[in-house]
Amino acid sequence: MAKRKQATLTDIAATIGVAPMTVSRVVNRSGYVSKQTREKVLEALKAMNYRRNGLARNLKRQRTETVGLVLGDISNPYSTELANAVRETLSVRGYNLFICISEHSAKEDITAFQSLVDHNVDGIIVATRSNREGDEYLRDIVDSSMPVVVVGRDFQHNAVDHVSADNFTGGFEATQHLIDLGHRRIGFIGASLSNRSGLKRMQGYLNALEAHGIEIDERLITGRKESVSEVPGYSTEKMGYEGMKRLLSLPSRPTAVFARNDFTAVGAMTAIKEASLSIPEDVAIVGFDDIPLAVHTVPALTTVRQPMRIQGQLAAEMLLRRITSDEVVEPDERILNCELIIRGSTVPSA
């Protein structure tokens, strides 16, 4: 029995009455195709059981020696440290870096991914938060043989490497530290309770409270509520300031606060001082990241230090391994330890 011939782009184009270039644009996600025509092509691809020839694509496609990096809030020092580490690691190997920003929405994620694919980058590092629409699009990109590494994104694929800090343990230990100091009304600033499943730092905070039999009070948790198409992007200094003011307006305010990141903690500290309260005597505060500013706040900020530069270096090395390897690369996952750094914002100086 003769083997059934694999459908080609030309076969599909002839079947639905469009040019082969149009089908190619849909398959490669490059160039403009109307929504109606795109859907028509996708239906034909599925009906004719078209399978993309990844080997042929790699033989045809020449490397551009460029890599894409998708980041959240570029003003946050975490993003700066991560991007610099990626750039330096790539530079040694002769690669250039393109940076795209996606702060909150799945739409921004998809736009960034599409832009990098259109620019024929050799691979993509994604350091934004997971969301359903963005993950679906990213999965399609990976399936088209594009090398991808994710940093801190909850995204699973057998051809994607993952590097992240141990945010859950970091959040747990930050909250545990405040509990050990005798605090029982401990607030969280940087996200709403509905985001708990997507934020391991918040999960750590909640688990620490539960482990000590402390009731979770939703009034003590404050942050922007995202719509279905949005994700909890980086928490900002403004969010910390406004969130702390809301917490201080409660009839029974918290005696301690865990801020989702150091930027948020700095905003919260400003609000505490404006209310003529003392840190840590009236309100103790812990941040996360250990950005350079943390040691220079007054008082110096207690925080959870995560290895920002190491994450960037590892992500770049993982991606280069995928780009340059002629073999099938097994997925690699690195979860890096964090460290609680105790300073004056939780423990008064002698």
Would you say residue 347 has pLDDT above 80?
Answer: yes
How many whole angstroms separate alpha carbon 126 and alpha carbon 153?
7
Residue 194: the pLDDT is 77
Range in 62-71, 151-160, 190-199 with the lowest mean pLDDT: 190-199
Model's pTM, two decimal places? 0.78
Q: Which residue has the higher pLDDT, 268 or 197?
A: 268
Reply yes or no on whether the pLDDT at 59 is more than 50.
Answer: no
Work out the percent of the chain whose per-residue pLDDT is above 70: 89
pLDDT at 2: 45
pLDDT on residue 119? 86
The whole-angstrom separation of Cα 33 and Cα 17 is 14
Residue 67 identity: V
For tokens 């995204």, the residue is 155
- Which of 25-34, 113-122, 124-133, 177-186 shows the highest mean pLDDT? 177-186
pLDDT per residue over 202-256, tens digit each?
Answer: 999 999 999 999 999 999 999 865 544 444 457 889 999 999 999 999 999 999 9
- Tens of pLDDT, residue by residue over 25-51, are 777 666 677 888 888 888 888 888 776
pLDDT the model gives residue 168? 96
Structure-model confidence comparison of residues 233 and 20, the more confident one: 20
For the cut 70, the answer to whether the pLDDT of residue 350 exceeds it is: no
